[in-house]
Amino acid sequence: MIRKKHPSKPALSFFFFLSLKIFLDMGVAQNTTSTIPVNVGLVLDLDYLDANVSLSCINMALSDFYAAHGDYKTRLVLTTRDFKKDVVGAAAAALDLIKNVEVQAILGPTTSMQANFVIDLGEKAQVPIISFCATSPSLTSIRSSYFFRAIHNDSTQVNAISALVQAFGWREAVPIYIDNEYGEGIIPYLTDALQAVDARVPYRSVISSSATDDQIVKELYKLMTMQTRVFIVHMYRSLGTRLFTKAEEIGMMSEGYVWIMTDGLTADFLTSPNPSVIDTIQGVLGIKPYVPRTKELESFRVRWKRNFLQDNPNSIDADLNIYGLWAYDATTALAMAVEKAGTTNFGFQKANVSSNSSTDLATLGISLNGPHLLEAISNTSFKGLTGDYLFVDGQLPSPVFQIVNVNGNGGREIGFWTSTEGLVRKLNPRINKLRNSTSASGISTVIFPGDITSVPKGWETPTNGKKLKIGVPVKDGFSEFVAVTEDPSSNTTKVTGYCIDVFDAVVKALPYALPYEYIPFAKPDGKPAGTYNDLVYQVYSKNYDAVVGDITIVFNRSLYIDYTLPFTESGVSMIVPIADNNSKNAWVFMKPLTWDLWVSSFCFFVFIGFVVWFLEHRVNEDFRGSASDQAGTSFWFSFSTMVFAQRERVVSNLSRAVIIIWCFVVLILTQSYTASLTSLLTVQQLQPTVTDVHELIKNGKYVGYQKGSFVLEILLGLGFDNSKLLVYGSLEEWHDLFSKGSGNGGIAAAFDEVAYLKLFLSRYCSKYTMIDPTFKTGGFGFVKSLSNLGISISSMANKCIVSHVSFPFVTSGLP
Ligand SMILES: *[C@@H]1O[C@H](CO)[C@@H](O)[C@H](O)[C@H]1NC(C)=O
Ligand SMILES: *[C@@H]1O[C@H](CO)[C@@H](O)[C@H](O)[C@H]1NC(C)=O
Ligand SMILES: *[C@@H]1O[C@H](CO)[C@@H](O)[C@H](O)[C@H]1NC(C)=O
Ligand SMILES: *[C@@H]1O[C@H](CO)[C@@H](O)[C@H](O)[C@H]1NC(C)=O
Ligand SMILES: *[C@@H]1O[C@H](CO)[C@@H](O)[C@H](O)[C@H]1NC(C)=O
Ligand SMILES: *[C@@H]1O[C@H](CO)[C@@H](O)[C@H](O)[C@H]1NC(C)=O
Ligand SMILES: *[C@@H]1O[C@H](CO)[C@@H](O)[C@H](O)[C@H]1NC(C)=O
Ligand SMILES: *[C@@H]1O[C@H](CO)[C@@H](O)[C@H](O)[C@H]1NC(C)=O
Ligand SMILES: *[C@@H]1O[C@H](CO)[C@@H](O)[C@H](O)[C@H]1NC(C)=O
Ligand SMILES: *[C@@H]1O[C@H](CO)[C@@H](O)[C@H](O)[C@H]1NC(C)=O
């Protein structure tokens, strides 16, 4: 058993009171006669400098702790086992500590791989295992209550990484990780977090911990040929150094590339920066847990440096790293818990000797104090060097992460990530409320590899990427939607049209490259190779990756292929010619009034003439004379009221009253007449010739539909006779059929997709009209395969269609 004493000697240059304190510390540490020693194992790999840093931190933690708590009855006694990098070595060391030294708890082991078996041992022997290095989230799955992770797990930092990816608008990222438990543990969490911010992981690059430089270079070249330029590196320092060195050699640390390091690598590279490594990783982003700069931490740093240099005079440039701080706090927590757990029983219950097995494992005893210690550690909470310290479910809660950007001689701290506020420049909740934390404006300017401050777009057109084969329909008419034109001189095919424009725009809006080529669905002689159903089927039989064109979204095709969202208005409708009902009718001026109104108006004129004559002829000179004069004057008077031109004076008050009422009636009559006639003559009375589908069927009219279209199925479904259906292949043919008229080899109505009808109307606007009964279909969409066959126009393209296509967007109501 090695007893680690506090190794510090007071130095002349040091402050007097501090010297005194350390002197007292030593005194306390030596007073073991009256205190109870508690054995604690320490499993470290002393070949690594980091382990020596941790070891010195643990020793300082003990001396600091018992200096401050001299009255505690227990004293931790460390037994260190060096296991030389080996997983089996770590297990053997732990077994030895439990069996032979009968330790109450074990601090260490340093890596996730070593921790795995040691945790099982601890569970069996009821000895708490406290690791301040093992970060792999997969260790949680062992579900040992005797395992304490005195460090955050790796899955806590994935949200910080995905927040960075989101803030800079990158849509794809490739993780590069070491192929062991440490590397692989984080990947499911990282993938999920990236997916949550709409970033894809198109490829995962696994590098063996024993990979040669050649293998690393080969893998890097492979990454170079792909389009993604955002890499997330998660591995140990030794492999990371080689990876970045090779990446720089082949030019991957230059403009356009983005590298993000997870916290392990960031801590490794930046705590005691090695100038040659720092030169290699200029512009790299990193993430590290944030430890607030407190007075205690600074004074500890100074004391630690003095101490460490005394023990390791050769390690001048060693620096206090984050693992040292975790180790310091973990030791303090353990010392506190051991005191709290009480001093009753530190013995081990021996395994029953009746057991026949001869291995050490079978005869492992059980720590009697284990359950008490377990509870005490779980309940420990204090303010440590790394901040508030407490275990939640055996782990430390997620810390705040600091974002660093490697620049010049080290890491420039450009911002923070907190789980509540996202990316922020300063940790000040009051100011941050006003900021926008999902955008890069939350953090300081980043200088990316290649010394650029503009944000790389995160992808490059791949040099050897596979081109998507996009099928396009071939037909003679309707070139507005898709037109395939051959250029015989150069043997090239040109594909144009509205649908093609939409697709090109969608691909342009994608945040990564999507190389593709159009392949006309035609026989060698240029004729269409089949109907639209046949074309769509080619996607199912994997001849094409997708189909772009005027493809209607209909239900029964979606059984074997998939559609994007529609990019045109949806529905099938009817179009009919319109006829002018009233033009060229000489008797149109009679139309405003019906014949009975004409007759009754005439009768009333006569009647009013008579009434006025009756009331006036006895008193009024104007209404005297011969009988014919009197009749003439009366009627003249009556009819001249029609235009309010009566000139005869009226003297009787009674007749004046009659005339006033009559004039009012005449006013209404003439005004109504004028208004109706005006509207008849000016507004064209255009009427569709047919308004009802059933009328067409009943009268046996001929109707038209487009060649090869699914509309045929709808028409047959409606009850049209097959012999009454005519096809057209272009706008001109369509118009021609209408001109001939039903019964003369033409049609009375035509059915088609609304998009075609609108096109037809835009050409022959004045002669036709669309009739309303619309059969719902899905509109036009792009076709892609149901399987995930490398086609990326799925959800991304749908978003682009919704936001970039100006057509009214209609959700498809599939039957
Ligand atoms: C050691 O501890 C005992 C009991 O706590 C105390 O009486 C004694 O003075 C201590 N000795 C030293 C050298 O501190
Ligand atoms: C760590 O310390 C031990 C002795 O305490 C020493 O033998 C070993 O060489 C040190 N390791 C390093 C990397 O300095
Ligand atoms: C030893 O055997 C006894 C009785 O068979 C049992 O109660 C006890 O739990 C066993 N101890 C161990 C460590 O298996
Ligand atoms: C131990 O081994 C002996 C022979 O090797 C066997 O007879 C005995 O039954 C075993 N006992 C137990 C408890 O397995
Ligand atoms: C630990 O905390 C639990 C609940 O908070 C409490 O019931 C228990 O007594 C505490 N144990 C110790 C040893 O403090
Ligand atoms: C990782 O730590 C966080 C915070 O303590 C916790 O919420 C999460 O469940 C842990 N994940 C795993 C896999 O242990
Ligand atoms: C936050 O950023 C997003 C995307 O960058 C933007 O759409 C949104 O309007 C911003 N909100 C505020 C309050 O600035
Ligand atoms: C065009 O293609 C045909 C057959 O594919 C070939 O016979 C002809 O030589 C080609 N013409 C040119 C100019 O490439
Ligand atoms: C879709 O319907 C048409 C006509 O009803 C039929 O010819 C075709 O085979 C159907 N396709 C599928 C996949 O059912
Ligand atoms: C004229 O319109 C009327 C209804 O206003 C209609 O009954 C008649 O059939 C139409 N005539 C022609 C030739 O379309």
* 378-415 per-position pLDDT tens digit: 988 999 888 889 888 888 888 899 999 999 888 889 99
Q: Is 299 in the pocket of ligand 10 (CB under 6 A)?
A: no
Sign of CA dihedral 47, 49, 51, 57: positive
Q: Note the pLDDT of residue 629.
A: 87
Give yes or no for residue 358 having a pLDDT over 70.
Answer: no
Place of tokens 């529609």: 566
Q: In the predicted model, what is the mean pLDDT of residues 751-756?
A: 86
Where in 119-274 does DSSP place strands (E)? 129-131, 147-149, 174-178, 205-207, 230-234, 258-261
Closest CA to 470 of 445, 443, 504: 504
Residues with CB under 6 A from ligand 4: 354, 356
Sign of CA dihedral 195, 198, 199, 202: positive
Ligand 4, closest atom to CA 355?
Answer: 13
Q: Is 354 in the pocket of ligand 3 (CB under 6 A)?
A: no
Ligand 3, closest atom to CA 352?
Answer: 1
Express the helix, strand and coil content of the chain in percent, nearest 5 each: 45, 20, 40
Cα(145) to centroid(ligand 5), Å = 15
Q: Note the pLDDT of residue 212.
A: 92
The closest residue, in CA terms, to atom 9 on ligand 2 is: 47
Q: Note the pLDDT of residue 262.
A: 93
Q: How many CB atoms lie within 10 A of CB 681?
A: 13
Cα(312) to centroid(ligand 2), Å = 7
Joined together, the tokens standing for residue 635 give 């009627």
Ligand 1 test: best mutation among 24, 34, 71, most atoms within 8 Å of CB? 34
For residue 580, the surrounding DSSP H or E stretch is: strand 572-580
Cα(356) to centroid(ligand 4), Å = 6
Q: Which ligand neighbours the alpha carbon of 73 most closely?
A: 1
Closest CA to 106 of 386, 370, 283: 370
Confidence at 684, pLDDT banded by 50, 70, 90: low
**Per-residue pLDDT tens for 287-345?**
999 998 889 999 999 999 988 888 888 877 778 888 889 999 999 999 999 888 877 67
Calpha distance 27→30 (Å, rounded): 5
The closest residue, in CA terms, to atom 12 on ligand 7 is: 436
**Per-residue pLDDT tens for 537-586?**
888 888 888 888 888 887 778 788 888 888 877 788 888 888 766 555 77
Looking at per-residue confidence, does 19 or 205 come out higher? Answer: 205
Cα(754) to centroid(ligand 10), Å = 26
Ligand 10, closest atom to CA 581?
Answer: 1
Ligand 5, closest atom to CA 341?
Answer: 13
For residue 53, the surrounding DSSP H or E stretch is: helix 49-68
Q: Note the pLDDT of residue 564.
A: 82
Cα(69) to centroid(ligand 5), Å = 22
What are the distances in angstroms from CA 742 to CA 370, 696, 720, 725? 97, 10, 14, 11
Contact 61, 120 (CB under 8 A): no
Q: Which ligand neighbours the alpha carbon of 441 most closely?
A: 7
Q: Is 805 in the pocket of ligand 3 (CB under 6 A)?
A: no
Closest CA to 25 of 74, 72, 77, 60: 60
pTM of the model: 0.64
User: To the nearest whole percent, how much of the chain has pLDDT over 70?
Assistant: 87
Q: Note the pLDDT of residue 187.
A: 93
Q: What is the mean pLDDT of the chain?
A: 82
Give yes or no for residue 33 having a pLDDT over 60.
Answer: no
Ligand 9, closest atom to CA 554?
Answer: 1
Residues with CB under 6 A from ligand 6: 137, 140, 152-153, 155-156, 392, 395, 397-398
Cα(132) to centroid(ligand 6), Å = 15
**Per-residue pLDDT tens for 40-64?**
999 888 777 778 888 899 999 999 9
Give yes or no for residue 10 having a pLDDT over 80.
Answer: no
Q: Is 436 in the pocket of ligand 7 (CB under 6 A)?
A: yes
Cα(756) to centroid(ligand 10), Å = 28
CA angle 421, 426, 427 (to 5 degrees): 60
Calpha distance 582→590 (Å, rounded): 12
Collect all residues with Cβ–Cβ distance below 8 Å to 730 and sequence separation of at least 6.
Answer: 476, 477, 478
Q: Note the pLDDT of residue 545.
A: 84
Cα(601) to centroid(ligand 10), Å = 28
Q: Note the pLDDT of residue 19.
A: 47
Residues with CB under 6 A from ligand 2: 46, 48-49, 52, 312, 315
Q: Is 255 in the pocket of ligand 5 (CB under 6 A)?
A: no
The closest residue, in CA terms, to atom 13 on ligand 5 is: 376
Cα(451) to centroid(ligand 4), Å = 73
The interaxial angle of helices 213-225 and 237-249, nearest 10 deg, is 60
Where in 602-642 does DSSP place strands (E)? none
Calpha distance 390→381 (Å, rounded): 5
For 19-28, 672-681, 741-750, which range has the lowest pLDDT when averaged over its residues? Answer: 19-28
Cα(15) to centroid(ligand 2), Å = 29
Q: Is 788 in the pocket of ligand 1 (CB under 6 A)?
A: no
Q: What are phi and psi of 74, to 5 degrees?
A: -100, 150
Calpha distance 391→326 (Å, rounded): 13
Confidence at 812, pLDDT banded by 50, 70, 90: very low
Joined together, the tokens standing for residue 738 give 């209408």
DSSP 8-state class, residue 70: T
At 138 the three-state DSSP class reads helix
| Sheet hosting strand 401-407, strand order edge to edge | 205-207, 174-178, 230-234, 258-261, 285-289, 401-407, 410-418, 422-424
Give yes or no for residue 516 having a pLDDT over 70.
Answer: yes
Q: Note the pLDDT of residue 61.
A: 93
Q: What are phi and psi of 680, to 5 degrees?
A: -65, -40
Cα(212) to centroid(ligand 1), Å = 59
Q: Which ligand neighbours the alpha carbon of 352 most closely?
A: 3
Ligand 10 test: best mutation among 576, 580, 581, most atoms within 8 Å of CB? 581
Give yes or no for residue 810 having a pLDDT over 50.
Answer: no
Give yes or no for residue 469 having a pLDDT over 50.
Answer: yes
Q: Is 27 in the pocket of ligand 1 (CB under 6 A)?
A: yes
Alpha helices in 414-459, H assignment, sequence order: 429-432
Q: Which ligand neighbours the alpha carbon of 582 most closely?
A: 10
Ligand 2 test: best mutation among 2, 45, 50, 52, most atoms within 8 Å of CB? 52
Give yes or no for residue 160 having a pLDDT over 90.
Answer: yes
Cα(351) to centroid(ligand 4), Å = 16
Ligand 6, closest atom to CA 138?
Answer: 13
Q: Note the pLDDT of residue 648.
A: 81
DSSP 8-state class, residue 150: S
**Per-residue pLDDT tens for 706-740?**
887 888 888 888 888 888 899 988 888 889 888 88
Q: Note the pLDDT of residue 712.
A: 87
Joined together, the tokens standing for residue 185 give 């543990």
| Sheet hosting strand 468-473, strand order edge to edge | 516-521, 468-473, 546-547, 783-785, 561-563
Q: Is 368 in the pocket of ligand 3 (CB under 6 A)?
A: no
The closest residue, in CA terms, to atom 1 on ligand 7 is: 436
